[in-house]
Structures are given as structure tokens and as C-alpha cells.
Structure 1
Amino acid sequence: MQAQTKLALLLVMLLACILGAQYAYTFWHLPALTTGLMIGALISCYRIVVLFRRQSRQAQLALKALANGDSSLGLTQSHPMRVQYDEVKEQILQARLAAEQQAQFMQTLLIHIDMAVLVFDHKGDAIEHNPAVARLLGKAIKHTRDLEQIGLFIEEAQSNSQSTALWQRGEQQDTLSVQLSIATIQGQALKIVTLQSIHEQLLHKEQQAYKRLTRVLTHEIANSITPLSSLAQTCTGLMPEQLSFADQEDKEDLELALATLKSRTQGLSDFIARFRSISNLPKPDLSVQSLAAVVERCCTLLKHDLAQQQIHLELQTTADTLVMCDAQQIEQVLINLIKNAIEAMSQRENRKELRLEIDKNGQGQLYIAVSDSGGGISEQAQEMMFVPFFTTKQQGSGIGLALSKQIMVSHGGDLIYQPLPDGACFRCMFG
């Protein structure tokens, strides 16, 4: 029997008992019948209460079933709310399925994008992040304090902000673009942070600026030097042997001046030609190469110079050395670095040691390290040593390290300097 029918019958019985008791007591003066009818009214009230409690319990079970997604609980098939219950249950299931699909989609998206994404709560705890965070930063982030200066920027931000920051990852320094958004989700204030490396873009822009500057300088200087060199050579050829001067010393001075002018203009022309190598560096012709073989060839080429300076050479290979590179360009980088190391150690009387090592760093990047005991590089020179035309040598051109760095950048890597207690170390990093 349905709940509405039972409730209607109980209400009719209750009303009949109340009216009968009143009629029996008022007109018939039958106390026993009145008492019996009142007991019947109480029983009807009790059964009504029981019915309401049962309905309430069934409603609670139905709500629990909806909340838990349990189809075994809920209302009976004959219950008048069964149809509505099934409709609500289906809507909740569809909404839950859509939410799970959306969550899976967002999780998959976060995993596959290269941009590092972190979500911090009001306490600074990282409640969400994607795998790109560990790849970019080289470590796991659990709190804003793990981000050092970037963490302070996040904690102090009160609105959507963006900035750039330096990040030291192992021996490499990176430049990060930081974007922060503040959102309130379910009443909780969250800070959503995205991190992206812009180091390569900055290096590329820097190299392009150097190239443009080099083209302008070499073009203007060459336009001035070329006619001077030609004029000096012409004047030298036009001077007759029988040309007489009042003073023989004047003739010798003129010949010396023309010879000096010709020599210096030719030297400047050669100097400009070397500068042009920075702006005209071809793209690397990549192929699978063994770095160990490349290093050994360079050492063989410079074997005589090392022996002449009595420099002890040590080679160490602790990693798989196959890499995609342009062997000739990498050899040029290594020759520049080894020659610099030989020059740095040329004035030392003892402990002349040159060490070449092929290994991988903590991020799995392959590198060639060229270390020497030549005393190292001053802090002032470290800031400028990769700038084209800068040199601390009297006869230096200032393009060796700049060209070497440009070659490594074009290979997707970098050339970095690491000071040693009594020397210098340059690492050729491969991406």
C-alpha cells in the first residue's frame, strides 16, 4: 500500500475516533466507549508519527545514496518519489562524470605543457604543480620559501603580477619569466604561478645585437681602411729609386711611414676579417659525433704546445659521449679554450695542469669541462669576458670566447665559467 493511502486512512481514523468520542461523551454518556475511541485516536496518531519517521528515514537513505553514488540504496520502486529520485540521480551521475572528465583533461594538459605551473594556498604551501616544475627548477617545490627570491615575490603579491628573476640550477644560471594570478575558489584564496625560461631568448637577442653591431663597425672601418691601404701601397710603388732628398734621413722616414701605414692598415683589415667571423658564423651542420673523439683530436693538434710548456694533460670520460653537433665548430671552441689555458699557465713555474672531462650534470646535460691551474679570471673580467672585442691580452682580439659562446648557444647549449681555487674552468654545455 502506498504511503499516501496509508496516511489518508490514518487521518480518517483519527478524525472518526475524535468525533465519535466527543459524540459518545456528550450525548450518550458512555465513558467506556469514549475511552476506547480516545485510545483509537492515540493509536492513529502514533501510526502517523511512525509513518512520517519512516518516510524521513527513506529520504535520508535516498540522499545518502545520491551522495555516495550507491544505487543499491534509496526509495522503493513503488515510492511516489521514485521517478524524481532516478532523474536526480542520473543528473548527479552525469555531472560527476563531466567533472571527472574535465579534471582528467586539465591534469593531462598540465603534464604535457612545458610551462611550469604551481598553485599556492594562503599559507604558501604548493597544493598543485605539474612535472615541468621539476624539469625547469631542478627540484621539487613544496612551499614558496623553496623558490627563494621568487617565493618572496609570490608572498608579497596582492594582485595579478609579472616579473623576471634569476634562478641558479646547478652550475647554470637561468632567467625565468614569472606570472602570478590570484583567484578565489570555493572561498579559498589561491595564487596561480607560471614559470618559463627566457634564457635562450635573451641569449639569442644578445647575439643578434652583437652581430648587428659587428656588421656596422666592420663595414664603416673597412670602408676607411681599404683606400688607405691601397694608397699606401701605390705611394710606395711610385717612389723612384733615384728620388733625392736634402737629407737622406728624410727619405728613410718617408719610406718607413709608408711601410708602417701599409702594415697597420693590412693588420686592421685582418683584424676586421676576424671580427666578421662572429656575424657570419654558419649554422651548425649537425651529425652524430663522439665527443671523446673530438676532444682527442684537439689534444693531438695542440700536443706540441702542451709539451713545450711542460703542461700535464689529463683526459677523463665518465659518460656516454655521443651527441648531435658540428664537429668542426666544437673543435674550434675547444682549441680556443685550450689555447687560453696554455697562455694562462705559461707564466707559472710549477703545477701546470690541464684537465678535460666529459660528463653529465645533475640535469642530465652532457658537457665538456676544460680546467686549468692558471690562476683564474678576475671578477671584473668575468662580467665582460663573453662580450665581443673585450680582452685582457695585449695581442688579443676579444672574439675567442664570444665566438665560442655563440657556437655553443647555436647548438642549444651554453658556455659557462666556473672559478676554481687556483684556476679556471669552462664548461661547454649541450642541450
Structure 2
Amino acid sequence: MASKFYNHPITSISSSIKMKYLMIYSVIIIVPVLLIYTIILDYTHRVVEEDIVRKNMLSADALVKRFNTEISDAVLQVQLIAEVDERNKLNTQRMYERAKQTIASSSMIQSITMVDAQKQMLFEAPFALHTVMTTYNFPNFDIVRWSRNYAVSDVHQNPRGERVVSISIPVIGINEQFIGVMVAELSRDHLSEVLSVNSVPNNGFSFLVDSNGEVIASTVVSEIGINTSTHPATMELSRYTSGSMKGNYLNEPSIMAYKTMWDGWGLVLGVPDRYAFKPLTDLTRAITGTFICILLLTFLFIGLGVQKILQPIVKLTQFARSIERNDPLTITPKVSSQSKDEIGVLWQTMMATALSLREKQKMVEDNERYLRDMIEGIPYAILTVDNEGIITHINRQFEKITGYPRNDIIGKLLSEIPIKNKDADFVLLNTLNSDRIGEDAETYIMNANGQKHVVKIATSKLYNIQGGNIGSIAVLQDITQLKLLEEHAKQSEKLALIGQISTGIAHEIKNPLAILSGASELLKEEVDSEPRGESIDELVNDIYRVVRRMNGIVTQFLSFSKMNNEIDELIRMDKLLDEALHLLRIKLRDAKIFTIKDYPPQQTTMIGNYNKLMQVFLNLIINSIEAMPNGGTLSIRTLVSAEDGKRYFVVEVKDTGAGISDQTMEWLYNPFFTTKQEGSGLGLTIARDIVMEHGGELQIQSRVDEGTTMRCKFPITERESTR
């Protein structure tokens, strides 16, 4: 071992230690220097950037004020052109001459067109009077007509096929009569020239956009007419906001200011970074050169000083490296071990410490392996967090229940893992933040696929050897299947009770219903033999059909707990749905509900029990009507869909009512659960069971204050598809 130590090149050890000391001294000196350097550059950059933003905002404000003033002046000039005599007639010739004079004296206005109330062009200055009427469908005509105020347009096409922007001023006659509109086209060249005068001298750019994002005027001529609706600054302008931002313009990083104007117009003004920060770049180069010289001199002086203090600890460093490599510690260097100076004492101490550490390390590794095997083999999920709520460990069973790999969640906050709907549901965090040592509770967790697991959880706090709290642990038992069995048992008891109650109710109303049925048949026979009017005949027929259906429903109640699977009647669903709407037409009319029907020409037939399906859709439509007490829209449509290789016939009932809350949705199919004062709570339960009897599924989607959509999905059999 000694030969191994002394055969190791001392020069390499010396060089290594020298490099370490050099790095230490360098960090002590260089880090503050670099920190000061970074702070200076960062502060300078921030000051320059703030100054650029301030100047951009001031320039943008000045430009917007100038454009506002020029457009206001243009509006006043155009308003002075209109002339109406005492007979409420336009003096077209004089207005035309005035328009030409206005155009000649204004750099803002390039043409003026007079359009009458029928959108016919009377003249187009400075071109000519129109002897043949031409229709000019320019934007904002209706806005100006009804508001009696001027309006500024987006970019549009004039009768000459040019893309222009314009201001429209109403012409009002005697007694406030609307006579027409004066349309003044603004010079886009003049607008671009104003932008160039204020932006180009500073190596900047600017452009005007309309509400659609099309460039009206720009310092870059090729950009005029381009749609910039996806540019970040234009998107901010579309929200009617003003401010500044960093972004790219013509593929160049720039600092931009944006400000809104009339009717959706906006101004964007900016300076490319390479011009804005050029003074800062020059300053940075000078400062960088100075700091490099300082660093080189620092390294030189540190190297000369460190060389003289390293030799006494070179051999000690050799031994330390042998410990680091886990070499056997059976032989010690003779000279060093017998030395009585500080180095000898340090050597002996390091040897004893190394042997003790090796023994303790082995014990720790054995204990860790034992605990790890026990935790991973236990059939319960285990989770630990520190005092900050950060996950420190999970076992294999926790991964299995949640579906989250441990590498994805260890080191993250427990509250960030989507296993709960809200933070208050985290039992482990409640234990962590409470004075209780631990607690047992029943709760839930959501796995990676969004499935809910019911778990029994036991939590406890964790302590270190000094008795200080270092976190909490949770042990979870998945009792989802047990809960499902309990719920199934409860549901079976409820269904048995429903069967008994249904039988009692049905027997109680069977006899009165028989009398009512006989009376309705006699009434129908009398009406059939002697018509009493279309309205009375129709109502009698409705009573007859409803009484028959009620009799069928009573029979359904008697067999509620024993569903009939003999479904062999071919039903046209469009006819069934139309009849249901017909029976409820008075309710729909009184509730002021508008009905939309959508029956595609493809398959509208299926095999089922007509009366049972009628009961389903009467229940669903009545629920929608009651959800819209103040009126609304009821949409009913049929369609054929395909899922997982199977075809389904779907009937969708959609309303625009109050919607159903998430809390209510959980209890929606429970028998006798209702939110209505006079409801029985059986309607949806019976409807769902009838749909399931037909092999289908009833799906309900709802959002509060937006409405509810109910879908009945029936599988299409080979027998149905061949019809």
C-alpha cells in the first residue's frame, strides 16, 4: 500500500491541489468582479431599454394626437362642403367645386364622393360629376345614417378598384332629414410620409393598421396592405389596449410601442434592437476588455502565491484519495504514521475515521436495503413528504394505483400532482399543517387516467433523531372495489323498495285509470260519430292516446323490477319524436320555447317498445321544458355514429336552460332524488332503465347557465341495418 502511495506522481497531486487553491482564490476575487460586471451591464441595459420604451411611447402619443387632429380637420373641411337649399335639395355643382378646392388645399384628403340616401354616387371629386347613377356600397353607410355622426372606415375597395381608407360624414337636410353621405378618401401616402418623418430619422419604423390588422400606412412601403393580424402588437391593439412590448418586426428583434385610435385603428412604433442598443454594445466591449485584463493579472498573482504553501499537504492528499477510491486501509505509511507533528496526528485520525466510516456505511446500506424491500413489498401505497409538502418517496403500490411513475412526481409539491380535485382534500397536507401527530380517514385519489379510487388513509408525522418534525407519511389502502360492492348492495335495496312502491302506486291508480280509459273511449266514439270541430276533435284524440299511454305506464310500474326484454317492434324515431312534441305543443307554446328538429335522411328506424320509448322522450323533453321557465330553444336531432367499430343510433335532446351543477349530477340517477318541489325523482331513473333495456346508454352533459344535452345511444343490430 505504501508503495502504491509513493509511486503515485507527487507532481500530479501538487498540480491538482494547486488548481483547487487557484480556483478557490479565483472564486473569492473573480466572482465579485464578475458580479459587479454583470450588475453594471444589466443596469445599463435596463436604463437604456426604459429610455427607449419611454421615447417610443412619447412618439406614439405625438403621432396619434397628430393623426387625430388631421382627421378632425378633414371632417370639418368635408362638413363645410355640404349645401342644402330651402327645398331640401343638394346643390351638387357647387358642392363638387368646393370638394375640388378642399382636395387641392388638403394633403390629407385625396378624393371626395357624394352618395345619396340610396347609395347612388352624385359626384366624385376631383374626377367628374356623375350623370349616370352608380351604386357605391362603402363601409359604415348604415352606421353614419343612423348615428348621424362621422365614422372612420377600415381598408376597403372604392369604385375605381383601389384599396383605400375613408371618413364618412352624414349630410342632413331641413327637419333633420338624412340626404346622403360625403365620403372622403384619406391619402395613405400622406399618412406614410408622416410616419416616416417621425420614425426613419431615429432608424425606427412605424405603421398604422385597421381593425382587421391590414396595414394602412407604413414607413416600409412594401408592408402597406399586408395583413398583420397575427403580429403580437396588432393582437394587443385588437383588444383596444395600449402599451409596449418586445417582438420581431421584419425578422428583427425590436422594442415596440402600440396605441389605439378611432374605430379599431391602431399605431405601432418601434426601433430594432441593433440600433436601439448600439451605444450599449460599444460600452460593453470596452468594459469587457478591461475586466479581462484584470482577470489575467489576478490569475498570475494567485498562481505565484499558492505554489509556496502546498507541499506539506501533498502526501496527506494522496491518502485522502485512497479513501475516496475505497482502497483497503491495512497498511499505513511508516514515516507519516510515526510523525508526532500535526500532519502525523492528522494522518492517524483520518485512518481511524476512515475505518469507522467504512463500518457505519455498510450498516447504513444494509438497513436501507432492508427498509426498501419491506416498503416495496407491502400491499399498501406509501407516500412521504417533507415539511414543505414536497414528495420525497413513493413505493411501487402507489405507482400502480395512481399511474404516475415515481421519477415524474418525486421532488414535486404534492398539491401539484392532480390526484385531488382541490387542495383541501389532501389529508396528508392537513396532517402536515396541523398539531395532530396523525389521523385515519377515508378519502379518494384520481389516477393519471382521471379515474377515482376510494382509499382508506392513515397519516403520521415523521421525526428525526433530535425529535424535530421532518415531514409526514401516508399509508393508503385501495377500497374502491369494496365501496362498489357496498353501493351495489344499497342500490339493490333501493330498487327493491322502488319495486314495492311502484306496485302499490300502480295498483292504487289502476281502477280509476280503467274508468278514465272507458270514458275516453266513449268520448272518442261520440266525437268520431259527430265531429265537434277540429280543435275539440284533436284534444279528444290527445286525451285518448295519453290515457292509453298512462295505462301502459302503469303496467310498466308493475313490472319495474322485472324488465321485459321482448323488443320486436320496428319504430320510426322521427314519427315518435314528432308525436311527443305534438303532445307537448301546448307546454312548449306556453313556455315560449322554440323547437329545432334535425332528422337526417339516413336511418331513422330501430327496433324497440314504442310506449316505453315514448315515455323516455316525454320525460326528457318535459325536463328540458321545466329547465327553461323563461323560454329558450329546444333542439332534437337524430344521427348515426360509430365508436370502437360499432354503429349507434343516437337521439340528442338539447336545451338552453339553467343547466345542472356537478354536485347534482352525482345524484341524478338516484331514485327519489329530485330538485323539483312536485317531482317524484323517478323520471330519469325509469328513462335510463328503459334505454338500458334496449341495450343503449343515456348520457347527460350540462353546464350551469348554459344548458343541458341528453343523448340516448342505441346499438344498431344487423336486423335494423338491413331494413
| TM-score, length-scaled by structure 1 | 0.44
Higher RCO, 1 or 2 (CA under 8 Å, sep at least 6)?
1
| TM-score, length-scaled by structure 2 | 0.29
